[in-house]
Amino acid sequence: MYVSESININNIGHLTIGGCDTVELAAKYGTPLYVIDETGIRKNCRKFVNSIKEHYDGNGRVLYASKAFCCKEMCRIVESEDMGLDVVSGGELYTALSAGFPADRIYFHGNNKTPSELKEAITAGVGRIVVDNKEELDYICSLAGTMNRTAYVYLRIKPGIDAHTHKFIKTGQIDSKFGFALETGEAMEAVKLCFSTANVELVGLHCHIGSQIFDITPFAHAAEVMIKFLADIKKETGVELRELDLGGGFGIKYKLADRPEDFSAYMKKVADSVKSTAREYGIELPYILIEPGRGIVGAEGLTLYRVGSIKNIPDVRTYVSVDGGMGDNPRYILYQAEYEVVCANKADLTRTRTVTVAGKCCESGDLIQENTLLQEVEPGDLLAVLSTGAYCYSMASNYNRIPRPPVIMVKDGEPRIIVNRESYERLVEDDV
Ligand SMILES: *Cc1c(COP(=O)(O)O)cnc(C)c1O
């Protein structure tokens, strides 16, 4: 068992996921290959949903942040777990609608939604649009007016919380491109502007302080700040907003040494913070929303690669090159993300060598992991990079015109293709 309960080693020393032998999966579907376990995903969905039942009387909703891993089958799973869905682009919205996801359970985020995306969202009748800036508010007002509709909106607020995570994935501080700042009065101004804007109904607030956060304190602190702001709004305008979206960002296990808090502990502390602050400031308990992305899919997926060349540079390092790289996993080149790498066909052997696992793209920075422990490997061996269920397929590119790998979903020992391998024909399909 590595980073998730769905990953194990079988009696012939092969790594398994969801009861499937990874060596067999690679032989059947080729490499590189994304594999993701449905049982693990559903277990995580229920963990989040149950935490709201347990600690907040079920007075809330879990939204899956689809940007972590978005395809039609994933939208269907989220739908069947009775959850809502966050989208941040017209493409994610289109994917969700194509999968038959109910529009009223879709929440539309983003710091620069285009006019056509907003039109698509209002036409589809999405549940909530999370307004990020004044330009967007103006546009929603005129668009909803023309279409004779009411747009139900939240405002994205920067609560001024500095979460301890990589600077590219923290979002709650004042120097952020996302949302309206609290401390400058900008947020209160935006609230009042909403109240005087036709065809727009402000129903709640939203904040999201960052991603891959292990410490519970900043979440509880953000909740407190947001409740106080709800109380301020009531005091200044007489309006009590009823919905509070507290965002996502819950950390998962990438390295074996990572010790993410059990989610129920997060929810308890956040719910306690919401309840005690609401009591203190005399406002009703709002309906709350949480938006896990990585926490649902991250640890349930892995990527399989075939080892090609191995270059041992004496006194420097050993490069083990694989048949994928930054195209299917840009997280190392983006933020030096950490991963566990395992030789999938020798998973029962101890990892004794320190090597650098490199991709096949024409960039020296195209690495999957530097100085990582691995079994003794040779060309033809199969490597598994763990915890790649989030922000890998969804961030993949065609750099060097390398087709994107397929996604195989496994469940109780049965694999199925949920995204096909991209073909060379597809690569040139839009070329003229
Ligand atoms: C990215 C994002 C999330 C999900 O973050 P995770 O770290 O994947 O849980 C939730 N809400 C918003 C607004 C986001 O931008």
Position 175 scores a pLDDT of 74
Among the atoms of ligand 1, which is closest to the Cα of residue 109?
A: 13
Contact 393, 407 (CB under 8 A): yes
Position 163 scores a pLDDT of 66
- Chain-centre distance of CA 319, in angstroms? 30
Ligand 1 in contact with 293 (CB < 6 A)? yes
Residue 78, judged by CB atoms within 10 A of its CB (0-12, 13-18, 19+), counts as buried
Q: What is the CATH topology of the domain spanning 109-292?
A: TIM Barrel (3.20.20)
d(CA 43, CA 22): 21
Count the neighbouring beta carbons within 10 Å of the beta carbon of residue 265. 13
Ligand 1 in contact with 92 (CB < 6 A)? no
User: How much distance in Å is there from the Cα of 13 to the middle of ligand 1?
Assistant: 36
Ligand 1 in contact with 179 (CB < 6 A)? no
What pLDDT, in 10s, does the model give residues 302-316?
A: 999 999 999 999 999
Ligand 1 in contact with 21 (CB < 6 A)? no
Which is the catalytic residue, given 45, 343, 362, 392? Answer: 362
**Mutational test site, ligand 1, from 291, 300, 335, 392, max ligand atoms within 8 Å of CB:** 291
Position 177 scores a pLDDT of 84
Q: DSSP string spanning 242-271?
A: -EEE----B---SSTT--PPPHHHHHHHHH
User: How much distance in Å is there from the Cα of 351 to the middle of ligand 1?
Assistant: 33
**pLDDT tens, residue order, the chain (432 aa):** 578 899 999 999 999 999 999 999 999 999 999 999 999 999 999 999 999 999 999 999 999 999 999 999 999 999 999 999 999 999 999 999 999 999 999 999 999 999 999 999 999 999 999 999 999 999 999 999 999 999 999 999 998 877 666 665 566 677 788 899 998 999 999 999 999 999 999 999 999 998 899 988 999 999 999 999 999 999 999 999 999 999 999 999 999 999 998 899 999 999 999 999 999 999 999 999 999 999 999 999 999 999 999 999 999 999 999 999 999 999 999 999 999 999 999 999 999 999 999 999 999 999 999 999 999 999 999 999 999 999 999 999 999 999 999 999 999 999 999 999 999 999 999 999
Contacts for 116-120 with beta carbons within 8 Å, 24 or more apart? 116/90, 117/89, 117/90, 117/93, 118/143, 119/143, 120/90, 120/93, 120/94
User: How much distance in Å is there from the Cα of 395 to the middle of ligand 1?
Assistant: 14
User: How much distance in Å is there from the Cα of 346 to the middle of ligand 1?
Assistant: 35
The CA-atom distances, in angstroms, between 181 and each of 129, 156, 320 are: 18, 9, 46
3-state secondary structure of 325: coil
Position 160 scores a pLDDT of 84
Ligand 1 in contact with 65 (CB < 6 A)? yes
Position 166 scores a pLDDT of 60
User: How much distance in Å is there from the Cα of 111 to the middle of ligand 1?
Assistant: 13
Among the atoms of ligand 1, which is closest to the Cα of residue 212?
A: 7
Count the neighbouring beta carbons within 10 Å of the beta carbon of residue 30. 14
On the CB side of 266, CA atoms within 13 Å amount to 28
361 is catalytic: no
Position 169 scores a pLDDT of 58
Contact 21, 345 (CB under 8 A): no
Among the atoms of ligand 1, which is closest to the Cα of residue 130?
A: 13
Position 201 scores a pLDDT of 97
Residue 246, both tokens: 């507290």
DSSP code, position 51: H
Written as one letter, the residue type at 165 is T
Ligand 1 in contact with 37 (CB < 6 A)? no
Question: Domains of the chain: which residue ranges?
Answer: 7-37+298-428, 109-292
Ligand 1 in contact with 109 (CB < 6 A)? yes
Position 148 scores a pLDDT of 93
Domain at 7-37+298-428: CATH code: 2.40.37.10
d(CA 44, CA 222): 23
